Amino acid sequence: MHHIEGELTLKDFYQVVIKESPISIDEKIIEKVTESFHFLKDFSENKVIYGVNTGFGPMAQYKVPHAERIQLQYNLIRSHSSGSGNPIPITYVKAAMLARLNTLSLGHSGIHPSAIELMATLLNKDIIPLVFEHGGVGASGDLVQLAHMALVLIGEGEVFHKGVRRPTAEVFKEEGIAPIEVALREGLALMNGTSVMTGIGIVNTMYTRRLLHWMVASSSAINEIVQAYDDHLSEPLNQSKKHMGQRDIAERMRAHLTDSQLTRKREHHLYKNEGEVEVFEEKVQEYYSLRCVPQVLGPVLDTLRTVERILIEEVNSANDNPIVDVHKKQVYHGGNFHGDYVSIEMDKLKIAVTKLSMLSERQLNYLLNSKLNDILPPFVNLGTLGLNFGMQGVQFTATSTTAENQMLSNPMYIHSIPNNNDNQDIVSMGTNAALTTKKVIDNAFEVLSIELITVVQAIECLELQSKVSSKTKALYDDIRALVPVFSEDIVMYPYLKKVKRLIQDTEI
């Protein structure tokens, strides 16, 4: 049981969303939320409070009679349940639910406590709202996507129950679940906020960590295959740069290669009298895709760390409107629902992941092009040249997928379109940014899967199994368990799928 009692961490999200730990909510949180609810109820009796006794957005100029205030909340939820496109995968919606539950638990929303209690119940019973990819502009928060979540909380719409899409009312009846009590501003409080973009973003960071792990492993292995000099990974060279990401990547690669019999010391080969040699047969330095890995992946790691910090700050922030302050006995109107913080971080992350996929594609090309590596047959073809094709076919997939990532890496953050009768005249597009980043990460797993199969084929071709480092041997064994040695041509797509699943699902 995972106990929710204060600020959430990445580890909390991992435990609840990925490991599916059930959650419990601390009684102090329920007390705080209840106090906030009663304060707002009393405070709003004789005052104009946006979204409690007024319309929404440009319609806020219209007062809503007291007798219709509850209907107002239902109207908001139903009218904005207007998403389209593909359903957002369950894992990402679970993260969004946990993010929403947490921000509402801060006691700044004046929401009825039944809302967070029901969200916890749904997470624990694996009842996940149907939420669509299209609909959010991310400025009054994820209004449309969060409306679909709120629709389920009032017992309507559709859910995925144990992975099967079904009507909410049917599942609630089966499980003996009552909808939330709409008592004051539950529609607006549930819908105003950045929780969908943030939830998707947090899952994106988890998968980026896995990508980086496998990319470091692959980059280390390719340095072994070509018997590269190891000084480009050395501590003195990398410590001479101040960036922590670069230093850490180099350190990880050194750790990976500790017991390798293949990487070479420059002083054993080039730092001695070469006599009258004018042209060196062997490369004095490796191509950049092998030599500059710490400098290329270092910024990816540093960017990831920044993204994680900003997203966790957002998760633990009040991000709706208005904000209730029980201690100051005041209600503040503003724009904490605006998603720019998340949107720009998602754009930064997708640019970094695209660069990772570009590095992978270049390393792959180096292994496949015999004129570059000078040690492997074309396309690491273990069969008959001309008759067989080796890895030729899958290179096309890696190249085209990398190209898609490059196109998708244009920023979403700057693509604001005014809407809502120009009330929302500058918006974040944060959920679009988070979902595009999700696509870029998914693509990068595909490119890296192709490189990993090629790395293993190259080790096979050169018979290096007993000379590579123990970590590369473990990588080799993992891939070999899924992909056979092949010299005859085989249908590749089932193997790509298996390797992609392996590197996506392996815990780091």
Residues marked as catalytic: 50
Cα-flanking dihedrals φ and ψ of residue 37, to 5°?
-60, -50
Q: What is the largest CA-CA distance in the chain?
A: 98
CA distance 232 to 221: 15
Cβ distance 97 to 149 under 8 Å? yes
Q: How far is CA 406 from CA 246, 399, 401, 425, in A?
A: 23, 11, 9, 29
Handedness of CA 310, 436, 84, 343 (dihedral sign): positive
Looking at the DSSP bridge assignments, the partners of residue 167 are 158
Q: How far apart are the first and last CA of the chain?
A: 22
CA distance 290 to 292: 6
Comparing CA positions, the residue from 22, 177, 152 lying closest to residue 98 is 22
Give Cβ neighbours of residue 370 (< 8 Å, ≥ 6 apart): 376, 377, 378
Comparing CA positions, the residue from 83, 174, 82, 81 lying closest to residue 127 is 174
Alpha-helical segments (H) within 317-391: 340-368, 370-373
3-state helix, strand, coil in the chain (%, to 5): 60, 10, 35
Radius of gyration in angstroms for the set of CA atoms belonging to the chain, rounded to a whole number: 27
Looking at the DSSP bridge assignments, the partners of residue 165 are 160
DSSP reduced 3-state for 41: helix
